[in-house]
Structure 1
Amino acid sequence: MLSVEARLVKRALKGDQQAFADIVDLYQDKLYHMAYRMLYNRQEAEDVVQDTFLRVYRNLDRYDDSMKFSTWIYRIATNLCIDRLRRRRPTYSLDAESTDHEGLDGYSVMPSDDRTPESEIVLSETQRIIRQAVENLPAKYKTVMVLRYLQDMSLQEISDVMDMPVTTIKTRVHRGREFLRKRLEHKL
């Protein structure tokens, strides 16, 4: 039995525009959140999502239905994010983006019943430090960390998305955690 995505792809290849619109509906929010967590920039994340769907539309006939559609579309989006990260100058600072809080990032919702103005300041500072540490991860570690911990993908799924062996993914997750630990132990 074909998956929902596989059926939509078959219909879209036959010119069914509603089928492609359904693919967009299925993935646009997921891809946006992944891109935002990699780029920490709302406009860039929106651009990546748009570029992803343009590439999917143009290359739908190249989709290999022996792989999961989600793997294929995430690979396209992830590669677009990595390209953007590589184009950034190494001295890129989040300070310019600090007012871009329309969407929630992964660190902004931490439940607490006893919040005080002082605890809010500490929480805000902690979130800023963590966000900056993740932002400063080298792209090869940042990608796997976002996919693993913020998109909750398994190591095998990340391996499929990035077209790398699972052992490489494990190594990058380990090194990414070490990089974050070293950065954060001096700041927190």
Structure 2
Amino acid sequence: MDVFIRKKIRQVLKGDQNAFGEIVEIYKDKVYQLCYRMLGNRHEAEDVAQEAFLRAYLNIRRYDENRKFSTWLYRITTNLCIDRIRKKKPDYHLDADIEGSENLTLYSQIASSSHLPEQEVEHMELQESIQHAILKISEKYRAVIILKYMEELSVEEIAGILDMPVGTVKTRLHRGREALRKHLRKL
């Protein structure tokens, strides 16, 4: 994968915009998920994800080919999310999701052989509680928790993305877990 990405980056540097489109296709879901988990809002996540790719494109000459592209891209994304959290003002959208209806579609009414509706609701409520708890902890802990447990990155990768020592990442993971426990106990 890294060889493919490096090839595409070289094409972008030569002026091939389509090559960057292929890079976006590969990373768009991961970047959006990271944004959504950091921000907790679909609209903001879409905006920040787009901005992350724009920044990556505009700064592609600064990318060091000796490092993983995903680490560089996640660093841009995480920093943009943290900036957005710090500047955050109440944001209301007319087409915002109604709480509790995240996974409902017309197909939700079709009988299924999967989990019982009660189990699905419990699972959705648990996921929602965890997401709300994550949004309540400080952004410095939120970033490491999301990168470790939701993006399943190693401590070393997180240190690279956030540009901090491994020891600091471990400390923030520990403190972030403690903060999450406190918020989840209240529920």
Q: Which position in structure 1 is the counterpart of 2:42?
A: 42
Q: What is the deviation of 1:120?
A: 5.0
Q: Does 1:12 align with 2:12?
A: yes
Q: Which position in structure 1 is the counterpart of 2:98?
A: 99
Q: What is the deviation of 1:139?
A: 0.3
Q: What is the deviation of 1:116?
A: 5.0
Q: Which position in structure 1 is the counterpart of 2:183?
A: 183
Question: What's the Cα RMSD here?
Answer: 2.7
Q: What is the deviation of 1:135?
A: 0.8
Equivalent pairs counted in the alignment come to 175
Deviations 1:63-94 (A, max 9, x none): 111211111111001100011111125x99xx
Q: Which position in structure 1 is the counterpart of 2:66?
A: 66
Structure 2 matches for 1:73-88, cutoff 5 A?
A: 73-88=73-88
Q: Which position in structure 1 is the counterpart of 2:116?
A: 115
TM-score of the superposed pair, with normalisation by structure 2? 0.83
SS of the residue 1:152 aligns to = coil
Q: What is the deviation of 1:165?
A: 0.5
Q: Does 1:54 align with 2:84?
A: no
Measure the CA separation in 2 of the matches of 1:25 and 1:133: 31
Q: Which position in structure 2 is the counterpart of 1:107?
A: none
Deviations 1:11-54 (A, max 9, x none): 11001122111111111111001111111111111111111111
Change (3 A) 1:74 1:60: same
Unaligned residue ranges in structure 1 (runs of 5+): 105-111
Amino acid in the other structure paired with 2:183? R
Is the contact made by 2:37 and 2:131 (CA closer than 8 Å) also made in structure 1?
A: no
SS of the residue 2:116 aligns to = coil
TM-score of the superposed pair, with normalisation by structure 1? 0.82
- Percent of matched pairs sharing the same residue: 47
Q: Which position in structure 1 is the counterpart of 2:146?
A: 146
Change (3 A) 1:22 1:122: closer
Measure the CA separation in 2 of the matches of 1:154 and 1:171: 14
Q: Which position in structure 1 is the counterpart of 2:155?
A: 155
Amino acid in the other structure paired with 1:26? I
Change (3 A) 1:102 1:19: farther
Measure the CA separation in 1 of the matches of 2:115 and 2:50: 41
Q: What is the deviation of 1:102?
A: 4.9
